[in-house]
Chain A
Amino acid sequence: MKNNYRCCNLVVLIPLLCSFFILGRMNAAPYLLMSSSEILKFESFFQQQISGTVRDQNGVPIPGVNVIVQGSSNGTMTNLDGEYTIVASVGDTLVFSYIGFKEFKVQVNDTFTGEVTLESSVDALEEVVINAGYYNTTQRERTGNIVKVSAAEIEIQPLTSPLLSLQGRMPGVELSQAGGVVGQAPTIRIRGRNSLRMQGDYPLIILDGVPLDASPINSVGEFGRSSGMDPLSTLNLTNIESIEILKDADATAIYGSRGANGVVLITTKRNIQTKVETAVQARIYIGVSQVSHKMDLMNTREYLSIRRQAFENDGVTPSETNAPELLLWDQNKDTDWQEVFMGHSSPITDINLSLSESNENTSFLIGGSYHTEGSVFPGDFNYQKATANLNLNHSSNDKKFKLQFTSNYGTDQNHLFSGTNFVNYARRLPPNAPAIYTEDGSLNWEGWTISDNPLAVLNQPVEIETNNLIANLQLNYEVLEGLSLRANFGYTHMTSQEVTRNLQESFNPDDWDWIELNSFHSDTKRNSWIIEPQVDFSKDFGQLELNMLGGATFQENTTTNLFLEGIGYSDDNLVGNLNAAEEIRVSTDRKITYRYAALFGRLGINWYKKYFLNLTGRRDGSSRFGPNRRFSEFWAVGGAWIFSEELFLSKLPFLSFGKLRASYGTTGSDQIPDYGFLDTYEVTAGPGGLFPTSPFNPNYSWEINKKLEAALQLGFLEDKINLEVAWYRNRSSNQLTGYPLPAMTGFTSVQANLPATIENKGWEFIVSIAPIQNKKFYWQTSVNFTVPENKLVKFENLEMSSYRQTYKIGEPLNIAMLYKFDGIDPETGRYRILDANGDGRYDFEDRIITQPLGRQYYGGIHNNFRCGNFNLEFLVQYIRQDGYSISQITTPPGLYGNTTRDVLNAWQQQGDPEDIQKLSQSVYSLLSYNEAMNSDLVVQDNSFLRLKTLSVGYRFPTGFLDHLGVRELNLFAHAQNLFTLTDYKGLDPETGNNIPPLRTFTAGLQLNL
C-alpha cells in the first residue's frame, strides 16, 4: 500500500513539473501573425470565372462556405483561406450560405469583386458552444445527445437546488422534488432507471471539471430522512452559466463507468473578456412562498358524524380509549390543522453581487451571494445560504499558455425541526383535537390521550450546516500549433453537520421526572481530489479535420460519517453541548475511501464539415470491486451527416439545416456500496462485541449499459423553426444489485450481478419556433416532449428468484402487482378482493393485476415574448402518469383520524358506489381495507399540468440609463408553481405524502454598471 502512494505522488508531480517548465519558457516563444489578403480581379465576359474570399464581419476568412449559382447545380465551397472560384454569367445570382451566418445573395455584374462579407445570424446553431466535458463542440457539429439550459432560465427561479431549475425544460430528464421543504434532495433520472437497485441511478455530476458526489447526505431529522439532503444546495444558482446534460453513448462513454446514468455538467460563470473592462453586477429579489395546495378534509361536524356512524354500524359503544374525540374532546371545536401546521408564509430574499475585470492577459470574476428563506411551519425556522466564487483566467502574451482557476464556496444553514409524521398530523388529526397552546402560550398537554401534542416536535430543533468548497485549476499549454498539453486539478471539501436537540418541552410534562434530554449529532465529511493530465491534438488537412484527445484520471474520494448521541443534559440550554452530556454514545464512526483511475481518449474526424465521426474510449478501474474485477473498458462511436450541406439539397429554400446522427457504445456503473466484496465484521453497539454486517460476495463486477441512438435535426426558414427528434435504446445488463435474500439466510440482501437486462427506449422531441424576430417584437416558443419506455427484457429464472414479486419480464421496473378489486361484500359492507385461484387465501398468486406506475410521457412548453423593453416568459410542465390515489395514505373509513370529504359517501347499502367501504372501526374492516389498498382500487390517473414558472421583466432603455451611468437595469417579477391541474386529491401528485411544492412569488432588479 505504501508503495502505491509513492507512485501516485509521482504521477501528481510530473504534470506539475511540466507546467512549471513550460511557464518558464513561454515568454521566449515568438508571436506569430498570419496575413493573407489578395484580391483577385475578374474579367467581364458572359461565362466567366469568379474568384474571391468570404469573410466574417471581423475580416476573418470563413472556410467551407457553400457557393452556388441559384437555379443551377453549379456550386463550390470555400477553401481553408475562405477562397473560392466559380464559373457564372453576368446576371446570375450567387448564393453564399454557411451555418451561423445569414445567407447572402448577390447578382453577378461588373462591379462585383468576388469579395463577400457574411453577417453572423443571431441564435444560430453554430454560435451555441456546447460543453461535452473533456472537449467542446457546437450545436451544429455535435455527434452526441447533449441538451443545455443556460443562465437566463436558471437564475430567474427562486430555488436552492440547481437541479430543480431544470424541471420541465429538457426531454429525457425526469426530475422530481421530494417535497416543499428547502434542502431536500431532488430525484433525477436521465432516460429512466437503468438499475434494479434504487440507489444505482444517480447521474455523474461534474462542476467545472470536478466530479461531485451526487448521493444525498444522510439526515436524522424527519424531513431529510427519506430523501436525504441535497449536496448541491450550497451552489449559487445565479452564478451558473449553463447546465448541460449528456445522454447517449457518444456523449457519455468518455466518462466510462460513471456515464451509465447520464452526465450533468454544471459550468459556473467566468470572465473570458480580453479587452480592458470593469463590470459590476447586482441582482436582488425578494418574495414569499406558501404551500401550493391543501386537501379537502372533513370539518368537526362531518368527522364526528362519521365516527358515530362507524360505532353504530359495529354495534360497539365508544370508549374513552378508542374514541376520545367523541367522549373527551370539545364537540364544537373546529381547527384546520393543515393551516396550523403548514399554512404559514415564508419570506425569501436573495442578493447577488459580482465584479469582473479584465485586460489582455488576465481576467477575473469575483462574486458573492446571500439567500434566505423562512418556512411554512409554525415557529421560527429558516434557511440561509451564503456563497463566494472566484474565476481567474490568465494567458501568456503569446496566448500559448492558459490558466483558469475557478473556486466556488458555499455555506448554508438549515433550521428545521424533527417531528415524526408532521404531515400525517396535519392530515389526520381530528378537527376537534384539543388546543395546541394554553392561554399563557405554553404547550397544552391536557386531553391529548391518543397522541402527544403534535407541536411538541417544534421543540426538537434540527440545525444542518453545510460547507462546500469546490476548486478547479486548468492549465493549458500549446506546445505546437494544434498540440496542447493540459492538466486539470480539482479539489472538493464538503462538511455537513446536523444537530437535533430534544428539549424538555418536547416531552409530556408528566414524563419530565425521568426523561433524559438528548441530542443527535451527525457529521459528514466528503473530500475528493482529481487529477486529469491530457494531451490534445488537432490538425487540419484541408477538407479533413482531426481532433484527438488522450488523458488519464486519478481520483480519490473519502467520506467520513460520525453519528453521536449525547444523553442526560441537565438543562435545555446545554442540550447539544457534548461536554454537558452525561454520556456520549457513538453509533457510527466510519471512513470510506473510494479510488478510481482511468485512461481515456477521443478521436474526432470531420470531412468538409459535413461528415463527422467521433470515437471515444475509456479504461476504468474502481476500488469498489474485488481484486480481479476492478478494470473494464468502455467505448462509443458516433457519427453525423449534415445533409443540408450537400449541394443537391441546398436548393430547398425552406430547409436551412439538416443533420442525421447516430451513436452506439457502452458505459458502466459502479454505484454500489464500498467494500462490499470483503467478508468483514463490525463492532456492535454494546461493548466488546463484533458482528458480521452483511453477507459478502467477492465476485461481482461492472454493470454494462449499451446505448444506441439515432436522431434527426432540422432547421427551417433560416432556422426560425428547429426540430430535433431522437430515438434511443439503452440496454443495461449484468445488473449489479443488492439482491434480495429471504431473511432466513440471515440478511435481506447481498451485492451480486444478476442475469437481467433492463431496456430504456423512447422518443425525445424538441421543437423551437421563433415566428417573430424583430427589434420591436420577439417571440420564441420551445416544446420538449418525451415518450419513455422502461422494460425488463430479460431476467433468467425470475420466477425462482426473490425478485419474482417485484418485477415482471416485459413490464417496466416501476410496477405494482395488485389484487383485483371485487367491489363491496353486500353482507358485511367491507371491501372484497378477488381470490383469483380460489384457494381460500389471499396471497401473491391472487395479485393478478400488473400496474405500471412511472411516467408515460412528459414534456414542457417554454414561451418567451419580448415587446420593446418588456419581456414575458413562462414554462408549463405536463406529466402523464398513473399512481396511487389518496386513499392509500388516509385513514380507513370510520377509524380514528380525519380524512377527505369523500368518506361522507361511504357505502351503506347495495347499489351505492363501491369505492369506500361501510363505516366501521373494527379490526376486520381494517384487514379488508389493508387488502383493498393492495388492489387496483387505489390506482388512478395522477397526471398533472403545472404552470411551473411565469415571469415578467422590464429593461430600461439605454438612452435613459446612460444619463445615470448605468449600463443595464432590469426589473423582474416571477411566480413559481402558480397552479397545478390534476385529478389527484392529496396534497400534490409529485410529492405525494410530503409537503407539497411551494408556490413562490418574487420580484427584483438587476443592475449592471
Chain B
Amino acid sequence: MKNYSIYLVMWIGLFFSSCEEFVEVSIPDDRITSETVFNSEVTANSAVQGIYNQLFSLAFSSGRQNSVTVLSGLSADNLEATVTTESLVEFEQNEIFVGNSSNLSLWSSAYNVIYMANAVLEGLENSSDNISNASRAQLRGEALFIRSFSYFYLVNLYGAVPLVLTTAYSSNADLERTNRNEVYEHMIIDLNEAADLLEEEYQNEERLRANRFAVLSLLARVYLYTENWEMAEQISTRVIEAPVYRLNSNLNDVFLSNNEEAIWQISPLNGGSTRSNTNEGDYFIMLSNRANVALTQDLLDIFKPTDSRLSQWIGSFSSNETTYYFPYKYKIKNAVGEASEYSTVLRLAEQYLIRSEARAHQNRISQAIADLNRIRQRANLGAIQETELDGGQMQLLDSIKLERRRELFTEWGHRWLDLKRWELASQLLSDKKEAWQPGDVLYPIPEEEIRKNYNLTQNDGY
C-alpha cells in the first residue's frame, strides 16, 4: 500500500506542475504573430506585398463581377447586363436593394484593404530597429497610398463614410460617417506624406508597387474631384513630366505589363493562381459564350468610325443572331504562365485628361486643348483647333468629358464617378434609365452594416 501511495503522490504532484504548461500550444506553422512580422524587413515588406496581393482577389479592386469596374460601369451608361442575375440588374437599373450582396462585397472589401493598411501603419510604429529608416519610409508611404486609394472609391460611391484610421475594431465598430470633404482632406494629407516618403523609382523593375508618381497621380485625381484646379494641374504636370512615362503610340500596348504608360498595375499572379490573365480579360471577353455584361449601344454611338479605340478596344460576339460588344482593352481571356497583361489602375492618359480639364477650368484653353489632343491624336482622331471652339470653355469641357468617356470606359468606374462629379448623372441617366431617382447617385449603405453599427445612417432614397 505504501508503494502505491508514493506513486499516487508523485503522480498528483507531477500533474499540477505540468498541467499549466501542458495546455500551452505553440503557434502553428501557417501563421506568424504580428510582432514577428514587424520585427524584420523581409516580413514587414511581405505584409505590404500582402495588401497588393489581396487587391487582385478582393471584390472592389478585382475587376470581376463585384468590382467598381463592373458595378459602376452598369450604374452609368457604359455597360448593360446580359443576364438576369439580380444583383447585377439592380445596379444596371439603379434600383439597388439595401441587401444587395454585391454592394456589401464592394463596401466590405474596400474596408478590408483599409484594415490591412492600418495594421501595417501601426505595426511600423511599434516595430523594432531591425527595420531601416528607408524601408520604414517606403512601407509607410505605400500603406498611406493604398488607404487613400480605398477611401477614394468609398467616398465617391457612398458619400460620407466612416473614417477608420486604426485597427481598434471595438472603437471603430460604432463610428459615424465622416462627411465627404473631411475624408478628402484626410486623403490629401496622407497622399502628400506618402509622396514625400516614397522614391521615384519602382521596386523590382515592375510597376506593381506604388512609387512617388503613383501617389501623385492619385493626388492629382483627388484635386480634380475637389475642384482644386491649380493643384490638379500642378500635380499632374509632375507626373506627365516624369521621364519614365510616355503615351504608347499603339493602343494595343496600353494594358501590357510594365508598359511605358502604366503608372500602377496589379499583377494577376498576385492571386496566387497559375492563371496569368487579368480578371477584366476573363470577365469581359466573349469567345464561346456571352459574358454577363456587354457594352451599351449608347457608348458605341459616341465613337467616330475612324476612332482606333473602336476597332482596337472593342470586340464583338454573336450568339443566336444577337451581337454583343465587349470591352477588349485586355486581350487575354485565359492564360497560364508569364503574365503579359496587368490590371492597370493608374495610367498616363488619365493624367493628360486631368490636366486638360484643370486647365480648361482655369480658362487656359490652348494648353487644355494641347493635352486633350495628345489623347485624341493617339486614337486617330484629328486635333481640335482652338478656332473650332465657338462655345469656348464650356464647349472645351464638353469635349473633355466626351474624351474621358471614350478613353477610360470600363476602367475603374471613371464614367460613373465623372457623371456624378459633373452633376450630370440625373440629367443624362434619367433619360436612359426608367427608374432613375436623384438619390441614386449614391449607393445604399449595406443593410447589414447599418444593422451592426447603429450610428450609420442610410443614404437618401433607400
Contacts and interface: CB of A to CB of B under 8 A. Distances in A.
Whether chain B is bound by chain A comes out as yes
Interface of A: 1, 3-4, 7-8, 10-11, 14-15, 18, 21, 320-322, 328, 449, 479-480, 485, 508, 510-511, 513-514, 516, 533, 535, 552, 554, 567-568, 582-583, 585, 587-597, 599, 621-623, 627, 630-631, 674-675, 678-693, 695, 740-748, 750, 799-800, 802, 804-806, 841-844, 895-896, 923-924, 926-927, 930
B34 A691 contact: no
B46 A688 contact: yes
Most chain B Cβ neighbours within 10 Å, of A328, A689, A924:
A689
B289 A843 contact: no
23 contacts: A7-B21, A8-B22, A321-B82, A533-B11, A535-B8, A630-B23, A679-B35, A680-B31, A680-B33, A681-B31, A681-B32, A684-B270, A685-B271, A687-B269, A690-B32, A695-B169, A744-B164, A748-B108, A750-B169, A802-B451, A843-B450, A923-B89, A927-B97
B426 interface: no
B4 interface: yes
A682 B32 CA distance: 7
B115 interface: yes
Interface string B423-436: 00000000000010
Contact of A449 (B17, B93, B174, B320): B320
Contacts of A806: 451
A594 B25 contact: yes
A39 B212 CA distance: 109
A317 to B, nearest CB: 14
A695 B168 CA distance: 9
Given A631-B20, A680-B34, A690-B50, 13 more contacts: A510-B289, A511-B287, A511-B289, A593-B28, A597-B23, A675-B25, A689-B46, A689-B49, A744-B449, A745-B164, A745-B172, A800-B174, A930-B86
Contact of B7 (A14, A596, A679): A14
A508 B289 contact: yes
A328 B320 CA distance: 10
A687 B20 CA distance: 38
B107 A844 contact: no
A320 B273 contact: no
Contacts of B175: 744
A747 B320 contact: no
A301 B215 CA distance: 62
A623 B34 contact: no
A622 B322 contact: no
A686 B169 contact: no
Contact of A485 (B4, B99, B448, B450): B4
A622 B114 contact: no
Nearest to A593: B25
A802 B173 contact: yes
Contacts of A7: 14, 17-18, 21-22
Contacts of A597: 15, 18-19, 22-23
A686 B118 contact: no
Interface in B185-225: none
A689 B42 CA distance: 10
Interface of B: 1, 3-4, 7-8, 10-11, 14-15, 17-35, 37, 43, 46-47, 49-54, 56-57, 82, 84, 86, 89-90, 93, 95, 97-99, 104, 107-108, 111-112, 114-116, 118-119, 161-162, 164, 167, 169, 172-175, 269-275, 287-289, 319-322, 333-334, 336, 435, 446-454, 456, 458, 461-462
Contacts of B162: 744
B449 A693 contact: no
Given A4-B22, A508-B288, A685 B272 contact: yes
A744 B453 contact: yes
Nearest to B174: A800
Contacts of A8: 18, 22
A795 to B, nearest CB: 14
Nearest to B92: A923
A685 B27 contact: no
Contacts of B462: 841, 843
A684 B164 contact: no
Nearest to A518: B274
B47 A622 contact: no
Contacts of B161: 744
Contacts of A592: 28
Contacts of B4: 18, 479, 485
A587 B271 CA distance: 11
A746 B116 CA distance: 8
A679 B447 CA distance: 29
Given A582-B336, A750-B169, A743 B22 contact: no
Given A4-B24, A630-B23, A741-B173, A687 B272 contact: yes
A844 B450 contact: yes
B84 A681 contact: no
B56 A686 contact: yes
Given A516-B336, A686-B56, A745-B169, A843 B447 contact: yes
A622 B15 CA distance: 15
A194 to B, nearest CB: 23
A508 B287 CA distance: 12
Nearest to B334: A514
Contacts of B24: 1, 4, 595, 623, 627
Contacts of B3: 21
A957 B333 CA distance: 76
B27 A678 contact: yes
Nearest to A515: B334
A679 B115 CA distance: 14
A743 B23 contact: no
A892 B337 CA distance: 44
Most B CB contacts (10 A, CB to CB) among A322, A680, A745, A802 go to: A745
Contacts of B35: 679
B46 A744 contact: no
B15 A552 contact: yes
Contacts of B22: 4, 7-8, 554, 595, 597, 621
B271 A686 contact: yes
A923 B90 contact: yes
B54 A926 contact: no
B51 A740 contact: no
Contact of B112 (A591, A631, A747): A747
A743 B53 CA distance: 20
Given A585-B274, A690-B50, A746 B112 contact: yes
A711 B310 CA distance: 82
A591 B26 CA distance: 11
Contact of B1 (A320, A449, A479, A924): A479
A14 B167 contact: no
Given A678-B33, A747-B115, A514 B164 contact: no
A112 B7 CA distance: 55
Contact of A675 (B28, B95, B97, B320): B28
B273 A585 contact: yes
Contacts of A895: 84
Given A7-B22, A685-B57, A691-B116, A743 B449 contact: yes
- The 6 A-B pairs of least Cβ separation, nearest first, read A746-B115, A685-B272, A686-B53, A689-B50, A510-B288, A802-B452
